[in-house]
Amino acid sequence: MSVEVVYQWSEDHPGAALRELDDVRILKDVVTTDGDTIAAGTEGTIVAIWRGGEAYEVEFPEPMGALATITADDMVFAGRPVP
C-alpha cells in the first residue's frame, strides 16, 4: 500500500480541520511522550487525529520519532504533502 492510498483513505475525519500527514507548526512548547521538550515554532507531521480534531498526534523530526499529543488550538497548518 502506498502512502498516497493511505493518505486518501484517512482524509475523512468529520469535524477535523486538519488531516493526517498535514504539516503543522506548534504555537507553544510541548512535551513528547518520551519527556523531551519541543520548542514553539517547530514543524511536525500529523500522524493521528483524536476525537474528530480536538487533538492530534504529531511526529517531529528531532529527536528522531518524537511524538506529542497537541490540541488544535496549539498549532497551525503549515502545509500538505504534494501527491
The DSSP line for the chain is --HHHHHHHTT--TT-SS-TT-EEEESS-EE-TTS-EE-TT-EEEEEEEEGGGTEEEEEETTTTTEEEEEEGGGEEEEE----
Fill in the DSSP letter of residue 52.
Answer: G
Q: Residue 2 pLDDT > 90, yes or no? A: no
> Minimal CA–CA distance to 75: which of 42, 35, 34?
42
Reported pTM: 0.78
pLDDT tens-digit series, residues 26-81: 999 999 999 999 999 999 999 999 988 889 999 999 999 899 999 999 999 998 87
